[in-house]
A and B are shown apart, each in its own frame.
Chain A
Amino acid sequence: MVEEAQNPTDRMSWLKRLGIVSKYSFSTSQAAILVGLVVFLLVTFVLASMTGALWLPLFDIVWNPSSFDIERTIFFQLRMPKVLMAGVVGATLALAGACLQGMFRNPLADPGLLGVASGAALGATSFIVLGGYLPFPNWFEPYGLPVAAAIGATLVTLFLYAFTRRQGRLNLVTLILVGIAINAMGGVGLGLLQYASDDNQLRSLTFWMMGSFGRSTWDAIIPAFFIMAPASYFLLRSVRSLDLLQLGDGEARNLGIDVHRVRKSIVFGVAAIVGAGVAIVGMIGFVGLVVPHIVRLLGGPIHRYVIPASALLGASTLILADLISRTIVVPAELPVGLVTAFIGSPCLLWLLLKTRIHS
């Protein structure tokens, strides 16, 4: 067995031990695409860090820090957390989308589908409109919005869990229908709150709902990271199960998969990611839907490739979208949700058209 150490999967044994990469290697083209996506991500990251209302000569800042004090402050305190946040949110949203599409065996599933995004949005909106009436201490003020959104997302998740548990098992149709119902209720709640809000609040609400990286400071990123990292780990672990689920629940079970456990970890992983993401950057649509599609078109649907590739492309996509939103109307900033929707909706239409022709 000693000579086996030479084969490609054994070189990734540390990933294997974490349960992330299964015993299959990537095809040459998939490996090339993954490498390409890593390079693309690095390029967009550097480009986005340098470009903005103020041009930051990144290399000078790194090599010669003393002569670029202001630039350094801007870079580390403003630009960097923003770009990082865009990357993290983009990666996790695309990851969540790819996992949901795999789990639902439906290429049109979306992280907003389960109603968790609505829950988070409702929580955040409640805070914007009603927070002023509550006796919060001053120091709590910056944390209020993310905490409220996270509470909303968690409540919806618990509701989903309780509802599906009551029915004995996690039935997919029930899950989708419950998601639709929650989205509708969330819509009513949002409407009521908008109706009740004053002009200032309404403006703040509108901007938040369009999505923005404006609040991405280190204080916001670190707690989000602690929520997103374990959730992403659970999602990454399920790559092989997602492939087997394509054969149907019964077949997956016969192949040794604990179907209910896998579903649960995907549902809660997605809930945590979407909740944390919405809390900090607001509603950003289409990344979770469109990115996994592009990835599948490039290198096929096998999940050990789709999942990491979606995360990589999702990160670069949102970094680019944020770059566009920051530079297109300098010195103002367009809400990034508008940019993703502007790019994403024609993509969605094209996908729908293509799917119909296929079937």
Chain B
Amino acid sequence: MTLSANNVSVKLGDAEILKGVSCQVEPCRTTAVIGANGSGKSTLLRTLTGEYSPNEGTVLLDGINIASLSPLDQAQHRALMSQNPSIAFDFLVSEIIEMGWVQDSLPHKFLKESLAEVSRLCGIESFLQRAFNGLSGGEQQRVHFARVLLQIWNASHDDTSRYLLLDEPTSNLDMAYELEILKLTKLVSSQGMGALVVLHDLNLAARFADFVYLLVDGRVFCEGTVVEVFTEEVLSETYQVPIRVERHGELNRLLVIAN
């Protein structure tokens, strides 16, 4: 039960962005993808969602090639949170979240229940009936997160696996929201979802990831647990700046500091 890229190469135009990348998103685990700008992180994510089809290699969703799955089948098992889309019309918050509901075959009752659970989890129950465009950026982000969660919410408690993919979810958030989104991601992954997060901020990756893929120039340069990947040699070489990695005694986690 994984979402996996197997030896995947992706060409966009003439440029080969991914060169034989393999990675796995496993249930109950938060996996982070890190790497410098242009290393292929987002492309990898969008290959896993089927937006880009690989020139070589396969993407498997629980063992099935996603090329053979319908868009709806895929949508029911994996969701992508990307940059905040702006909304032209004045939708209510609850209507935006409902857009994530793709479990067509389930009765209405499940939508109501799941919507309530998801919005409680994201702390947005109080403004479900407010206009989405009237919310602050951070609140909007939380609403989108709730929508993405609803998309793969296991409403009927079946035994299929779900995967949550986040593309730099924290890029336009202040620190508090950043932490909140990642804490929520961690929470749902601890309850059984597989999560894959593309992150710029190495300290966030060090804090939240159970497993890390470090991409360099379209290849997996290094993979493993945080302790295995976050070494001064590896990070300094990747980012081409001297980087220090220290363990914070009180917090008991790795801190990454650029010199």
Contact = CB atoms under 8 A, between A and B. Distances in A.
Interface of A: 1, 4, 7-10, 22-25, 105-107, 243-244, 246-248, 250-251, 253-258, 296, 300-302
Interface in B92-148: 92, 95, 98-102, 104, 106-109, 111
Given A10-B107, A244-B99, A247-B99, A254 B79 contact: yes
Contact of A300 (B51, B92, B101, B151): B92
Nearest to B89: A301
A4 B113 CA distance: 14
B107 A4 contact: yes
**In which size bucket is the chain B interface?**
20 to 34
B71 A253 contact: yes
B49 interface: yes
Interface string B44-80: 0000010100000000000000000011111110011
Interface of B: 49, 51, 70-76, 79-80, 82, 85, 87-92, 95, 98-102, 104, 106-109, 111, 151
A251 B104 CA distance: 18
B88 A300 contact: no
Contact of A23 (B73, B92, B104): B104
Contacts of B107: 1, 4, 7, 9-10, 23
Given A253-B71, A302-B95, A24 B49 contact: no
Contacts, number: 79
A22 B88 CA distance: 22
B181 to A, nearest CB: 17
A143 B243 CA distance: 80
What 4 A-B pairs have minimum CB-CB distances, sorted nearest first? A256-B75, A301-B89, A256-B72, A4-B107
A19 B42 CA distance: 34
27 contacts: A4-B107, A8-B108, A9-B107, A9-B108, A10-B107, A10-B108, A23-B104, A107-B88, A107-B89, A244-B99, A246-B88, A246-B99, A247-B85, A250-B51, A251-B80, A254-B49, A254-B51, A254-B79, A255-B75, A255-B100, A255-B102, A256-B71, A256-B102, A257-B71, A296-B89, A296-B90, A300-B90
A258 B71 CA distance: 7
A246 B87 contact: yes
Contact of A243 (B75, B99, B104): B99
A302 B90 CA distance: 9
Nearest to A105: B88
A300 B75 contact: no
A51 to B, nearest CB: 37
B75 A254 contact: yes
A250 B167 CA distance: 13
Contact of B90 (A9, A243, A258, A301): A301
Question: Looking at chain B's contact residues, is the secondary structure mostly helix, strand, loop, or mixed?
Answer: loop
Given A251-B82, A254-B79, A255-B151, A23 B87 contact: no
A256 B70 contact: yes
Contacts of A243: 95, 99
B80 A24 contact: no
A58 to B, nearest CB: 40
B52 to A, nearest CB: 11
B87 A247 contact: yes
Contacts of B88: 105-107, 246
A24 B73 CA distance: 20
A7 B70 contact: no
Nearest to B105: A23
B82 A250 contact: yes
Contact of B111 (A24, A251, A253): A24
Contacts of A257: 71
A82 to B, nearest CB: 35
A149 B71 CA distance: 38
Contacts of A302: 91, 95
A253 B76 contact: no
Tell me which of A246, A248, A255, A258 has the highest count of chain B C-beta atoms within 10 A of its own C-beta: A255
B90 A251 contact: no
A105 B91 CA distance: 13
Contacts of B72: 256
A37 B14 CA distance: 55
Contacts of B79: 254
Given A254-B49, A254-B75, A23 B109 contact: no
A307 to B, nearest CB: 13
Contacts of B100: 255
A243 B99 CA distance: 7
A25 B91 contact: no
Contacts of B104: 22-23
Nearest to A296: B89
B80 A254 contact: yes
Contacts of A301: 89-91, 95
A253 B51 contact: yes
A314 B112 CA distance: 33
Nearest to B100: A255
Contacts of B95: 243, 300-302
A20 B107 CA distance: 16
